[in-house]
């Protein structure tokens, strides 16, 4: 087990909440190896294609990360692991910290589709990007704001992404 990889205890907590291999063909390879590859890539910050071969093919690791992000698997795993930790008393509710950071969008984001959503009760569309893009105009150009709530032990409880021009108190 390398530095930053899942320990046996962490894997035992995580494994029951992951999708199962059912049916013919054995759809998934080893979840633990792939998750360790995702964690390694997130910790180091290297491109997917440069992922070491000990984690399997980079396309498999990338595909699983994208698939689970799109279908909500990561969100449900986080919620169930947090619920388990809350039942066991491992979440420190004495302090709740909320912080945000602004990320500058790439220059090519300016060419994104300009189809803002319709707001109920209004005749015209608002002058902002779609909410799934979370892009907003601020003094720095196109930006995105990432809000994170954590407990007293600095463990993440919730994550919210909003357009960059929104204030910290506005998300609801």
**Domains identified in the chain, total number:** 2
Lowest mean pLDDT among 52-66, 88-102, 103-117, 137-151: 103-117
Extract the tokens encoding 104. Answer: 């500058």
Residue 3 within a domain: no
Radius of gyration (C-alpha) of the chain in whole angstroms: 19
Task: Examine the domain organization and report whether 82 and 119 are in the same domain.
Answer: no
> Average pLDDT, stretch 143-163?
86
Task: Examine the domain organization and report whether 36 and 77 are in the same domain.
Answer: yes
Residue 92 within a domain: no
- Residue 30 above 70 pLDDT? yes
For position 135, what pLDDT does the model report? 77
Task: Examine the domain organization and report whether 75 and 115 are in the same domain.
Answer: no
Task: Examine the domain organization and report whether 66 and 122 are in the same domain.
Answer: no
User: CA 36, 85, 89 angle in degrees (round to 5)?
Assistant: 145
pLDDT tens digits along 81-136: 889 888 998 888 888 888 888 888 776 666 555 555 555 555 554 444 455 667 77
Last residue of a domain, one of 58, 87, 116: 87
Domain that holds residue 47: 8-87
Residue 148 within a domain: yes
- Residue 65 above 80 pLDDT? yes
For position 92, what pLDDT does the model report? 87
Task: Examine the domain organization and report whether 17 and 67 are in the same domain.
Answer: yes
User: CA 157, 160, 164 angle in degrees (round to 5)?
Assistant: 145
């Amino acid at each position: 087990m390398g530095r930053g990889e899942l320990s046996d205890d962490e894997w035992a907590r995580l494994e029951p909440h992951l999708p199962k291999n059912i049916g013919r063909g054995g759809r998934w390879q080893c979840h633990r190896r792939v998750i360790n590859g995702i964690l390694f890539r997130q910790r180091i910050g290297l491109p997917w294609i440069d992922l070491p071969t000990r984690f399997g093919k980079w396309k498999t690791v990338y595909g699983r990360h994208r698939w689970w992000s799109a279908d909500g698997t990561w969100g449900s795993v986080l919620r169930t692991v947090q619920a388990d930790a809350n039942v066991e008393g491992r979440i420190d509710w004495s302090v709740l910290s909320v912080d945000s950071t602004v990320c500058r969008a790439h220059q090519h984001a300016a060419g994104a589709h300009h189809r803002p959503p319709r707001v109920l009760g209004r005749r015209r569309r608002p002058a902002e990007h779609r909410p799934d893009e979370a892009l907003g105009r601020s003094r720095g150009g196109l930006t995105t704001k990432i809000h994170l709530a954590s407990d007293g032990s600095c463990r993440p409880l919730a994550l919210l992404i909003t357009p960059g021009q929104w204030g910290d108190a506005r998300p609801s």
